[in-house]
Amino acid sequence: MKYNDVIKEDKIDEYIRYHIKFFREIADINTDVFYLNKLFNFPFKELHLFGEGMYYSIITRNIFQMLTIKIHRLLNDQTSDTFTILKFKNKIITEYLKDEYKQTFINSLKNNDFISKNHQEILNSVKDARHEVLAHKNIRYFNGDFDNDFFGFDEIKSLVFAINDFFRVLSFDVKDKYAKDDYYNEDIWELIVDAFNNFADESLLPLIMNSEYISKEEFLRPDMKNLNDNQRKLIRKFMSKISEIDMVEFKKW
């Protein structure tokens, strides 16, 4: 349905303004999930990138922690001067929609599983992680491990996909209200994959594989200087085959 058919005329500008803000926020969250997924599945060991794996683990951890804060900000922040996507949903029902469309919208919310017991559990975990570890250092932080004690990547990824579906329910046909450089797509995950997948799969891995630092015969890397000739030959042979073998695995989700 078109936004100007279902939204009251004097509320259209406000609805569009909030919609654009939330779209950008959710797209940013999806971008974090996309790159976390790539980093978690990057073949550091196969490429003999042990030191680099440690470096990227720091990046991965920081993205993961910021993602947790962003999700809390989007969903859980209940202070009076904040505005969450759930408050946006309530405004759509109570202020924006024309009366004849309210029940249809409410029914569509009932058919969406975002506010389910399964997702409520992970939402509570996000809230706990934010309050007890990321924004504060409560006693529980010293008695447990953040990554294992609260939730894992698969859970947070599932939650983000549920957020995408929920936002789609809140979205009427608004494409003509977006600027061209917003690249609006109702399917936010599809938008992010289309935007970054070619770079991640076809540029990043070959760039690393073909780097002189890794593949040059002299083996300039400090951790390879002491390799004997047979070890070097084996690594060169493996590197020549990696694009045929591991690229397939790297592209899997």
- Which pLDDT score is estimated for 208? 60
What pLDDT score was predicted for residue 10?
96
Paired tokens of 235: 């690594």
Reading phi first (left if > 0) and then psi (alpha if -120 to 50, else beta), residue 42 is in: beta
pTM (2 d.p.): 0.73
- Give the separation between CA 65 and CA 70, rounded to whole angstroms: 9
Judged on CB neighbours under 10 Å (0-12, 13-18, 19+), 154 is: exposed
Unique residue bearing structure tokens 């789609």: 168
Helix, strand or coil, per DSSP, at residue 18: helix
Encode 166-183: b = buried (16+ Cβ within 10 Å), e = exposed. Answer: bbeebbbebeebeeeeee
What was the pLDDT predicted at 200?
66
Which parts of the chain have pLDDT scores under 70?
43-55, 113-118, 131, 135, 137-149, 200-229, 231-253
CB atoms < 10 A from the CB of 137, how many? 10
pLDDT at 155: 87
Token pair recorded at residue 44: 């550091």
